[in-house]
């Protein structure tokens, strides 16, 4: 059994990006510039955005954080998005989700210029990904593809079972894993209404769990030798931790890990890759890899 070390892989990728940025700067170009909009003071969002800013520093990017209070109006937020769209010094930007309830998230996402949409949430990027065109692929599925690739895990023609059908993980993961240029797998998508979920899991060569239910995948649901990718990151109360909680994956790691050929731990698996893929997308934005502006 080999543990897929997302933390080390992410560090390596950031080091690779840093070298590329240094080369850009040496050629007289400005470094990539990522902007982030953060509304309110949600603890999780604060942490994510802070980590994104730190990752920018690690990669040699410029970063800008725009903070607004919870009571910002939708129109004001749209104006901020329009300003970032128009700013030639900003290569890509994100609006940290979730947003306060009085703001229509989808409307904000669709207001972002898709050519700067490094989160890959704009329908144009979602659609282009679905039909296999170059585009920003959202960070979590992109990070999983990168882990599979860097660990040289064969996916072509194998059974890849995906648990969960969310817009940010399950669905795009399914679309990528079925495409010839990415996973080329037989793809099976299971969700809360699937009658044969346990049976599908037992026949998975690659099992990607993204349902947000701690320890949902038990040892008796995993085929010996399977590759298990755990996307779950649920905060579970834990009095022994300073923070008062620990992160739990969707997989019963203790009992499942011994059965696997490869497995991602939580934390330290898929999580660290996510921000790192945002950095890759920002580098691609600065280079105009997918779109010219």
Residues that bind a second copy (CB under 8 A): 106, 122-133, 156-159, 165, 167, 171-172, 174-175, 178-180, 184, 186-191, 193-197, 200
Rounded to the nearest whole angstrom, what is the least distance from the CB of residue 241 to a second copy in the complex? 35
Contact between 165 and 189 under an 8 Å Cβ cutoff? The reply is: yes
Name the 3-class secondary structure at 141.
helix
Among the listed residues 5, 14, 52, 250, the single catalytic one is 52
* Of 188 and 227, CB closest to a second copy: 188
Whether 96 is catalytic: yes
Residues 6+ apart with CB under 8 A from 251: 209, 215, 216, 217, 228, 230, 232, 263, 266
DSSP strands (E only) in the chain: 2-3, 33-39, 62-68, 92-95, 159-163, 186-190, 206-209, 227-230, 234-237, 245-248, 262-263
What CA–CA distance (Å, rounded) separates 24 from 288?
A: 13
From the DSSP assignment, how many helices (H) and strands (E) are in the chain? 10, 11
Rounded to the nearest whole angstrom, what is the least distance from the CB of residue 22 to a second copy in the complex? 34
Among the listed residues 91, 113, 119, 230, the single catalytic one is 119
The residues facing 35 across adjacent strands are 64, 93
Q: What is the DSSP letter of 97?
A: S
* Of 7 and 159, CB closest to a second copy: 159
* Of 33 and 165, CB closest to a second copy: 165
Which token pair is 56? 């920018």
* Of 84 and 129, CB closest to a second copy: 129
Q: What is the DSSP letter of 108?
A: H
* Of 172 and 249, CB closest to a second copy: 172
Rounded to the nearest whole angstrom, what is the least distance from the CB of residue 103 to a second copy in the complex? 17
What CA–CA distance (Å, rounded) separates 280 from 53?
A: 14
276: enclosing H helix or E strand? helix 270-287
Name the 3-class secondary structure at 192.
coil
Whether 119 is catalytic: yes
* Of 126 and 270, CB closest to a second copy: 126
What CA–CA distance (Å, rounded) separates 49 from 36?
A: 7
Rounded to the nearest whole angstrom, what is the least distance from the CB of residue 206 to a second copy in the complex? 13
Among the listed residues 80, 96, 175, 280, the single catalytic one is 96
Residues with active-site annotation:
52, 96, 119
């Amino acid at each position: 059994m080999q543990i897929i070390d997302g933390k080390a892989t992410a560090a390596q990728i950031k080091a690779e990006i840093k070298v590329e940025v240094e080369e850009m700067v040496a050629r007289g170009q400005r470094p990539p510039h990522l902007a982030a909009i953060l509304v309110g003071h949600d603890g999780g969002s604060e942490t994510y955005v802070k980590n994104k800013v730190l990752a920018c520093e690690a990669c040699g990017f410029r970063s800008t954080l725009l903070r607004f209070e919870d009571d910002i109006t939708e129109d004001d937020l749209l104006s901020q998005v329009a300003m970032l769209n128009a700013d030639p010094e900003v290569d890509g930007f994100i609006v940290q989700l979730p947003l306060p309830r009085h703001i229509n998230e989808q409307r904000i996402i669709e207001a972002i210029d898709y050519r700067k949409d490094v989160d890959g949430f704009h329908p144009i990027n979602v659609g282009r990904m679905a039909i296999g065109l170059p585009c920003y692929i959202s960070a979590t599925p992109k990070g999983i593809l990168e882990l599979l690739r860097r660990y040289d895990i064969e996916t072509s023609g194998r059974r890849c079972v995906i648990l969960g059908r969310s817009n940010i993980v399950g669905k795009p993961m399914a679309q990528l894993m079925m495409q010839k240029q990415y996973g080329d797998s037989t793809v099976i998508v299971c969700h809360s209404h699937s009658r044969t979920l346990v049976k599908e899991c037992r026949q998975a060569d690659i099992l990607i769990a993204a349902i947000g239910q701690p320890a949902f995948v038990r040892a008796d649901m995993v085929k010996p030798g399977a590759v298990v990718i755990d996307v779950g990151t649920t905060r579970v109360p834990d009095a022994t931790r300073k923070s008062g909680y620990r992160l739990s994956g969707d997989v019963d790691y203790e009992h499942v890990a011994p059965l696997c050929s490869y497995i991602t731990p939580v934390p330290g698996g898929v999580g660290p890759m996510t921000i790192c893929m945002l950095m890759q997308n920002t580098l691609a934005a600065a280079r105009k890899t997918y779109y010219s502006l």
